[in-house]
Amino acid sequence: MIVSLPTVIAAVLYTYAEKKALSEQTKQYAAMKILFDKARGRLRDLVDSGKYDVTRYKESRILVEELGKKALEENGDWVIMHRERPLDIPR
């Protein structure tokens, strides 16, 4: 029994990771990190130039709106991914 226990644990962890779509999430989060890092740099440039007021400067507003849209898309993708892969409890 002790010899087979690591194999069973490995199989359970693999199945859990597959059901939770961890590899796909890792790819999505990496892409979003790159996007938000670039946006942070651009916003930092806008703040340094004094053009950070989203009510007055079109470029700042567009950047913030696009970031919001991308974040909503990513959250929607996450929901869809997890609805497609429901976690089943073994019996």
Q: Give me the pLDDT at residue 87, please.
A: 63
SS3 content of the chain, % helix, strand, coil (to 5): 75, 0, 25
pLDDT for residue 8 is more than 80: yes
Categorise residue 50: left if φ over 0, alpha if ψ from -120 to 50, beta otherwise: left
Q: What is the model's pLDDT at position 10?
A: 86
What does the alpha-carbon distance between residue 73 and residue 67 come to, in Å, rounded to a whole number?
10
The pLDDT value recorded for residue 90 is 62
What is the per-residue pLDDT across 17-41, written as a single tens digit (0 to 9) for each?
A: 776 777 788 888 899 999 999 999 9
Kindly report, residue by residue over 35-78, the tens digit of the pLDDT.
Answer: 999 999 998 898 888 877 767 788 888 888 999 999 999 999 88
pLDDT at 2: 80
In 42-69, which positions are buried (b, 16+ CB within 10 angstroms) versus exposed (e)?
ebeebeeeeebeeeeeeebeebeeebee
Mapped onto helix, strand or coil, the DSSP state of residue 71 is helix
Instruction: Give the integer Cα–Cα distance in Å for 70 and 62.
Output: 12
